[in-house]
Amino acid sequence: MSTEHHNSTKYYVPDQSIWPIIGALALGLIAFGAGHYTIEYSNETKGFGHYVLGAGLFVLFVMLFGWFRDQINESRSGLYNAQLGESYKQGMLWFIFSEVMFFLAFFGALFYARMIAVPWLGGASNNAMTAEVLWPTFEAIWPLTTTPDGTTTQAMGWLGLPLINTAILVVSSVTLHIAHVALEQGNRGKLKLWLIITLVLGFTFLALQGYEYVHAYRDLGLTLQSGIYGNTFFLLTGFHGLHVTLGAVMLTIMAFRVFAGHFDKDNQFAFAASSWYWHFVDVVWICLFVFVYIL
């Protein structure tokens, strides 16, 4: 808080940087390319979309690399003060809060479909006649394995792979916490060991999740197009998977930095932020497991 730092004589104000505007350019290329690629994909035409998208992703990668390199160098040369560290921490926590709200939109869609949309289609509330006239054979059940227009699919069970994945992710949160505690205690060996274990668990989760998608498409006929059940299943697990991927990339970078001798008890914002992010994706998964798989 501000009162803690007023004895520091000067504020630290970062220098100009070329990276932010390159980041804006990258996002622009990604958005423009992804938009055109989507149009070309749906019209089954060939165009420039994927080139622009690829260029955008490349520029984004260069930007992230450059920006973080500068940031790490500045941090390690001791330019930053406690107040800036506090700003980073708060910024990261608000970012995670925004991610929570992003997932809430998809959970909201899931709850609305289960509690309201599907029952109403089946004639609940005051919709008895509508259901009778439009879709007399429609059965309002969840998971919705037969949609009103007759698309059928099989539901994904929660035993087996999803349960194993839950265990893996929960354990990885614990192992990461052990690594974090080891960092605070200055026990580098223990830190390296548990961080590596966390990474192995994280990538195992992603691999199993990939296998689950194959299983869904190949064996269950559960696809993105399988009506509202498949829609919510794939968008929720898909966005979660993307976030796990991002978290795993962050932790991989942290592992490289740990092996390069970075971080100590007082200087570990990047590690802490990656670790919060990992715990966040873990919590999202637990909600997913309960609401998408079990219930």
Footprint on residues 91-110 left by other proteins (CB under 8 A): 91, 94-95, 97-99, 101-102, 104-106, 108-109
φ/ψ (deg, to 5) at 56: -60, -45
Tokens of 281: 């994706």
- The residue range among 115-123, 191-199, 208-216, 280-288 that interacts with other proteins, by the rule CB under 8 A, is 115-123
> Rounded distance, CA 247 to CA 199, Å?
10
What's the chain's length in residues? 295
Stretch that binds other proteins, among 112-120, 177-185, 213-221, 243-251 (CB under 8 A): 112-120
Which string of x and - marks every residue 234-273 that binds other proteins (by CB under 8 A)?
-x--------------------------------------
| Site mask for other proteins (CB under 8 A), range 73-92, x = bound | ----------x--xxx-xx-
| Cβ distance to other proteins smaller for residue 92 or 208 | 92
In contact, 56 and 26? CB cutoff 8 Å? yes
First to last CA, the chain: 43
Pick out residues in 131-150 that bind other proteins (CB under 8 A).
Answer: 144, 147-149
| Binding residues for other proteins restricted to 11-30, rule: CB under 8 A | 11, 13-21, 23-25, 27-28, 30
Is residue 118 within the footprint of other proteins (CB under 8 A)? yes
Question: Closest approach of Cβ 104 to other proteins, in Å?
Answer: 7
Rounded Cα distance, 128 and 183, in Å: 62
DSSP state of 15: P
Question: Shortest Cβ distance from residue 187 to other proteins (Å)?
Answer: 31
Cα(146)–Cα(133) distance, rounded to whole angstroms? 18
- Choose among 286, 292, 287: nearest CA to 167: 286
